[in-house]
Amino acid sequence: MEKKLLKKDRLSGIVKKMADDKPVYAPVKDEDNVLFKILEPGMEPLISFANTKDAPKKVFFPHSELLMKYTRSPKGMVFAAMPAGEKEFVLFGVRPCDARSFVLLDMLFDQEKWKDPYYIDKRKKGTVISMACVHPPYAACFCTSVDGSPTSTQGSDIQLTDLGETYLVEFLTPKGEALAPYFAEATAADASAEAKKQAIAEQSAAEIQRKIPGRAIKPILDVSFEHPFWDTIAGKCIACGTCTYLCPTCHCFDISDEMKGDDGVRIRNWDSCMFPLFTLETSGHNPRTSQKQRWRQRLMHKFKYYVDNFDAISCVGCGRCVMACPVNIDIRKIVDDISKLQV
């Protein structure tokens, strides 16, 4: 695929130009958070930032999403309408770890047998422009331990890499190439640019010193469901959903109905395996009654069940849960500890 060089000061203008034509989600400063928002006229996309507080999964898998609308007739429920299909849009400024999360989510939402039309529609319409991490943005980053890298192109349609004076613009997919006209002023990249990127990739990956045995714990997890170790991890967990809501790969949801007068809607909302109610059955029976079980589920789901089902770790090493956990439950430490278990 094509590679180009773009003068750095031109990027912001290009993104804003795109935003004139179609919705563009970009990292923007919102008080003291950096969040993905649709760029409105006058808003400035953040070009230089560490990473967003919220994961960009919300663009494809919104926190609350309308599934359908219905009305009440004298006879009962009558289906009324579907949400409008998505228009084409651009998701700009995604970090490579987060872009990889889309590939992981695809495995679940776009399976052979059951397809999730809402997610798939958005994935089809959205073009992902990622920004390679020239330096890992956080000390909590650990993408290299979970099959990723600071310059991974997985899940990206275009990737930008800061080469100092210019950005290397890599058009990775046909969807990405469709945006090439916006980069008309960019010049062809030569072999030296590619070499530079290669050097950056190596350098940046090397800067991530914190390693966890992401793949290596799978055989241990296979046989340690009942291990007493699990009793030690979740005591201080307050059972909030911060980790799961900020996680780029957590995808559990709930479906709820709301009505007003004769109008009704069915909405799906993020849910969290950290919440006691997540598995509570009407009968009062709850297969997971303790926070220990819920934590085990979260960890197993990411490092064992997903590997069993899709041969992929459902964690991209973005470090959000590490940094945002209100009580500092550090998944890196837990994975470390698991790797040392005697089983």
Partner 1 sequence: MSHHDKPAGRKSEGWEPKIVAIVCNWCTYAGADLAGISRIQYPPNVRIIRVPCTGRINPFYVVKVLQAGADGVLVSGCHPGECHYISGNLSARRKFATLKSFLNYIGIEDGRTTFTWVSASEGERFAQVVKAVTERVKALGPATKLVKKLRDADVAVAK
Partner 2 sequence: MEKVEKKLREEAKKLLAEKKVDVVVGYEAGTLPLTATPVFITAPEEADRLVWNAFCHHNLAKYVHDLISANRDSQKRLKPEDRKRKVVGVVTKGCTSRSLVIHLQERQYERLDLSILGVPCTGYVDRRALAEKLGGEEILEGSLDGANLKIRTASGEKTIAVKDVLAANCVTCRFNNPVISDVMLGEPAPAMNPAAEYAEIDEFEKLSPEERWAYFQKEMAKCIRCAACRQACPSCYCRTCFAEQSMPQWVGISEDPSDTQVFQFMRMYHMVGRCVDCGSCVSVCPMGVDLRKFLKKLDKDCFVLFNQRAGEKIDFPAPLQDQRMDDKEDFIFNPGGGH
Partner 3 sequence: MQKPLHQIAAENPYVPMPVEVIKIITEVDTKDIKTFRLAFVNKEDEERFRYIPGQFAELSLYGRGESPIGIASSPTQKGYIEFTVQKAGVVTTALHEMEEGTLMGVRGPLGNSWPIEFLEGKNIVVVGGGFAFTTLRSLINYMIFEENRKRFGKITVVYGARSPGLLLYKDELEAWGKRGDIDLNVTVDKGDATWKGREGFVPTVCKEVAPSRENAVTVICGPPIMIRFTLPVFFDLGFSKENIITSLEMRMKCGIGKCGRCNVGSKYVCKDGPVFSLAELDKLTKEY
Considering CB under 8 A, how many residues would be counted as binding partner 2? 43
Tokens coding 220: 């241990």
Instruction: List the one residue out of 192, 194, 157 whose CA is nearest residue 174.
Output: 157
Q: Please state the closest distance from residue 186 (CB atom) to partner 3, in A.
A: 37
Helix (H/G/I), strand (E/B), else coil: 42: coil
Tokens coding 93: 């400024």
Nearer to partner 3, 40 or 225 (CB): 225
Partner touching 83 among partner 1, partner 2, partner 3, none, CB below 5 to 8 Å by kind: partner 1
Alpha-carbon distance values, 320 to 54, 210, 235 (Å): 8, 15, 21
Q: Is 255 in the site for partner 1 (CB under 8 A)?
A: no
Instruction: List the one residue out of 306, 302, 305 whose CA is nearest residue 247.
Output: 302
Instruction: List the one residue out of 313, 280, 292, 154 whose CA is nearest residue 229.
Output: 292
Q: Which stretch binds partner 2 (CB under 8 A): 11-19, 28-36, 175-183, 184-192?
A: 28-36
Which residues, 257 to 316, sit near partner 1 by CB under 8 A?
258-265, 267
Q: Is 281 in the site for partner 2 (CB under 8 A)?
A: no
Q: Which stretch binds partner 2 (CB under 8 A): 155-163, 182-190, 238-246, 302-310?
A: 238-246
Q: d(Cα 87, Cα 293) in Å, to the nearest integer?
A: 41
**What is the separation, in whole angstroms, between the first and last Cα of the chain?**
47
Nearer to partner 2, 256 or 309 (CB): 256
User: Judged by CB under 8 A, which of 64, 111, 209, 339 binds partner 3?
Assistant: 111
Q: d(Cα 286, Cα 237) in Å, to the nearest integer?
A: 19
| Residue 32 C-beta-side C-alpha neighbours within 13 Å | 0
Q: Which stretch binds partner 3 (CB under 8 A): 44-52, 174-182, 197-205, 254-262?
A: 254-262
Q: Please state the closest distance from residue 47 (CB atom) to partner 2, in A.
A: 14
Partner touching 7 among partner 1, partner 2, partner 3, none, CB below 5 to 8 Å by kind: none
Q: Is 100 in the site for partner 3 (CB under 8 A)?
A: no
